[in-house]
Amino acid sequence: MSPPEAVAAFMFFGGAFWVLRPIAGALAKRIGGEVPPAPKVEPDERVLAELQSLREDMSELAERLDFAERLLAKQREAPRLAPPVERGRSDG
């Protein structure tokens, strides 16, 4: 292995160790029970009301979209009129 390759390998493995060591340490602490799990928080009533409002809006939008799709499908299925025939024209 040439010296530039050795330096590149050292930098790569050193960087990987520098990045992965804190992650592995935090994971070990979590598994060992040193870090307590985050407490469960009950959602606020205002948040629940806003969520319900958003659900109702989404439901209304879905109904409108279905209606528009049905109208477009009817329009495509409707019989088409033939183009008008030009009468009274004489070439010549």
Collapse the DSSP code of 43 into the 3-class scheme (helix H, G, I; strand E, B; otherwise coil) and give the result. Answer: coil
6, part of any domain: yes
User: One-letter amino acid identity for 14?
Assistant: G
What b-and-e string marks burial along 39-74, b requiring 16 or more CB atoms within 10 Å of the CB? Answer: eeeeeeeeeeeeeeeeeeeeeeeeeeeeeeeeeeee
Both 53 and 73 in one domain: the answer is yes
* 30 against 89, higher pLDDT: 30
Question: How many domains are there within the chain?
Answer: 2
Which tens digit of pLDDT belongs to each residue from 27-58? 888 888 877 777 888 889 999 999 999 999 99
Quote the pTM value.
0.40
90 part of a folded domain: no
Domain residues for the domain of 7 are: 1-34
Contact 67, 60 (CB under 8 A): no
Cα of 19 vs its chain's centroid, Å: 29
